[in-house]
Structure 1
Amino acid sequence: MKIKKGFELRDICGEKVIMATGIENVDFNQMIALNESAAYLWQSITDKDFDANTLATLLCENYEVSEQEALNDAHSIIKEWLEQGIIEA
């Protein structure tokens, strides 16, 4: 999977949000707020291919979570990001 072209993480008033940039995302008219761990994952995978195992590894390396919990969280965030249309398989 990859982050779709034209989506960027920005800091707006202390909150991390994903915003669309560029003409290819002209119909995307929302901002997506990310918590600290989701923003960390986004920054870590920018311009890289990733999967649930990649995200789970990043979570385990930086947060005190079990491998299973990290993998469950990774699957959830991938599902959410796919539904929001900000990543592609």
Structure 2
Amino acid sequence: MPKSRIRKKDDYTPPSSSKQATTINLSSGRSWVAPLMLAMFLIGLAWIVVFYVTTGDMPIKAFGNWNIVVGFGFIAAGFVVSTQWK
């Protein structure tokens, strides 16, 4: 059986234009976001752990069980800050 002819396509060459390549600046100037986010997560976690380990005597005894809400508030603030991360 005879072989079929192989058709070769020309290589693609983009049209030349007068535009120059633009550089993209990846530095957004928000280097404070990640450390603050992690700090809020860790403070919230530590607050809740200290509350449970001390059976409610610390961090602030007057808050009572509201200490859990304060700990989760720090964690929620960490998530809010995380929305600013690029």
User: TM-score category by the smaller chain?
Assistant: 0.3 to 0.5
TM-score computed with the length of structure 1 as normaliser: 0.34
TM-score computed with the length of structure 2 as normaliser: 0.35
In our comparison, the structure showing a higher alpha carbon Rg is 2
The structure richer in strand per residue is 1
